[in-house]
A and B are shown apart, each in its own frame.
Chain A
Amino acid sequence: MKAAALALLCALLSGCATVTVSRHGSTMVNIENTGWYLLNFIPLASGNPAKPNCCSTRLFSKTVTLENNVKMLDKVIADEGAVAVRDLNSFIVDEHVFLILLKRHAYHTSAQLLMSDDLTEPKEVGSTRVLESEPQP
C-alpha cells in the first residue's frame, strides 16, 4: 500500500516534456514542459528537455524555461528540415496546490514550421485572400 502511494506521489510530482508535431496541411509544433515547485520557488521535478516524450524527469533542477522550449523547437526544426518558423507563440500556466505549498508550472510553445516549398509555391488550401482596398474618394 505504501509502495503504491509512493508510486502515485512520484507520478503526480514528475514533470514532463512533450513535443507534438502535426503534419495535416502545414507542419505545426506544440511543445510543453511542466514541473512541480515547493513553496513557489524550489524545483522538485520537471520534464527533461533533452529527452522529450520519454517520461524522463529531472529532479531539483529548473528546466521549465522559455530557453529550453526554444532549444527543443530548434531540434524539431533541424529534424523536420524546416527553413523558417511562423506564428511562434508561448505562454505560461501556473496552478497552485494548498496556497504555495506546491505549484505546477507549465510553459507552452507552438509554431508553424515553414519548409522550402512553403516559401516558393503558394498553396491552394488555406491560402490567404487579400481584400481589395476601398476606392479613395
Chain B
Amino acid sequence: MSDDLPWELPDELLIDTEMARRIIVAFIGGHMQQTGFGRAVLGLSGGIDSALVAYLTAAAIKPENLLCLMLPYRTSSPASRADAEEVVAALGCPSRVVEITPIVDGYFEAALAGGEERAEPSRLRLGNFAARARMAVLYDQSAAWDGLVMGTSNKTESLLGYTTIFGDNAAALQPIGDLYKSQVRQLSAAVGVPEAILRKPPTADLWAGQTDEHEVGLSYAEIDRLLYSLVDLRRTSDELVEMGFAAANVERVVALVAGSEFKRQVAPVAKLSPRTPGVDYLYPRRRPRGG
C-alpha cells in the first residue's frame, strides 16, 4: 500500500484487513455452496466498491466463474471503463460490455415523443432509471450465466440512503455492506485493487464531474467517523457535537440516515392471516426442501 494515497483512514475505523478478507471470502463461498451456485455476475463500474467485490469474489470462486459486466451509459466516463478493464485484466475473469443507453434513452424519448412527458427527465430520475436498467441487465445475465448477482453497496452509502432502491442495492449478496467507505479503501489497498482506482474521487458517475463528497459536503473520513460514532457506538447527537463534529453536519447526517430507513428494509406486507411472510413466518433464506 502506498503511503501517499489521497485520503485519510480514521484510526477508530481501521480494520484487520486479513481478518476482513477471510470472513468475506468465506461468506461468499458459504452462500455459493448453500444456494448451489458456483458462479457470480457483477456490475463493474470502474469504481473502488465494485473493484473490491470483484477481487473478493474471484478469491472465493475463482476468476473464471465471475462474469464482470460493464454497463456504461452515454455520459459515463471513459476513464471509468478503462479502470474496469484493468480489473478484468488483472483478475483474468470473463467480461462483457452492455450499453444501457438505448434502454434508458429509449424509455425517456418515447415518453417525450408521445407527449406524456413535456421536459427532459431530472438528473435524479435519469440516474435512478440507469441504476435500475443496470439491475435488469444484471439479473438477466444472472439467469444466462447461472450466477448470483453480487452487490457492491458499502455501509456509508447504505446508511446515508445514497443508493437507488431496487437499482444498485439489488443483489443476492452484499459482501462489503458492513464496511464503511474508509474501510473499503483500506481493504482495497490490501487486496491489490489497482492504484488508479484507489486514487480517484468516489462518484456515482450519474453525470460528468459528480462526486459523492461534494454532494454531502463532507469528506468520507469525516462522514465515516460520524456514522461510526452514531450507529456503531450509539452516541447521541449532543455527544457527537461535544466530540467536535459541527452541529450542522451532525444534523444533516442524522436526517439522511433516518430518512432512508425504508431503503434498508423490505416492503411491509398488510397483515391479515395467522402467518405472514416477513412478519411472523420466519425462515432461513435457504433450507432443505420437504421432510
**A-B interaction:** no
Where the two chains meet, the residues of B that have a C-beta atom closer than 8 Å to any C-beta of A are none
